[in-house]
């Protein structure tokens, strides 16, 4: 339940005021868990849960799992190109920011 609480709060906050919103909703969700030196257990599950929550409130979501740096950069570029002034864009990343 502790893991779902932030997701539920996100869904509630994004859903509030939806009636007055006239733009599109886009989200880019990245979950990286397969690190060479310290793989993680939860990022892929977290990214999948966030994707489901966002889709339930009307977001069009692109989900990347275990993406490379170049794949993430390309996805961010494409994501930013589709946003207009009326749209809402949300970027979510789960995993290590970097590994040394």
- For 33-72, write each residue's pLDDT tens digit: 998 888 899 999 999 999 999 999 899 999 999 999 999 9
Burial class (CB in 10 A: 0-12, 13-18, 19+), 36: exposed
**Percentage of residues of the chain with pLDDT beyond 70:** 75
Q: How far is CA 64 from the centre of its chain?
A: 9
Provide DSSP, 60-95: EEEEEES--HHHHHHHHHHHHHH--TT-EEEEEEES
In 3D, which of 21, 8, 5 has the Cα closest to residue 58? 21
The stretch 70-77 carries a mean pLDDT of: 96
Q: Say how many C-beta atoms besides its own lie within 10 A of residue 93's C-beta.
A: 17
**Average predicted confidence (pLDDT) for the chain:** 84
């Amino acid at each position: 339940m502790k893991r779902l609480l932030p997701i539920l709060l996100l869904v509630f906050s994004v859903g509030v005021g939806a009636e007055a919103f006239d733009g599109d909703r886009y989200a880019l969700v990245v979950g990286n868990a397969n690190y060479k030196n310290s793989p993680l257990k939860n990022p892929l599950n977290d990214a999948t849960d966030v994707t489901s929550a966002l889709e339930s409130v009307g977001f069009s979501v692109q989900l990347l799992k275990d993406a490379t740096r170049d794949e993430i950069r390309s996805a961010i570029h494409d994501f930013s190109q589709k946003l207009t002034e009326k749209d809402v864009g949300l970027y979510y990343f789960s995993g290590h920011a970097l590994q040394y």
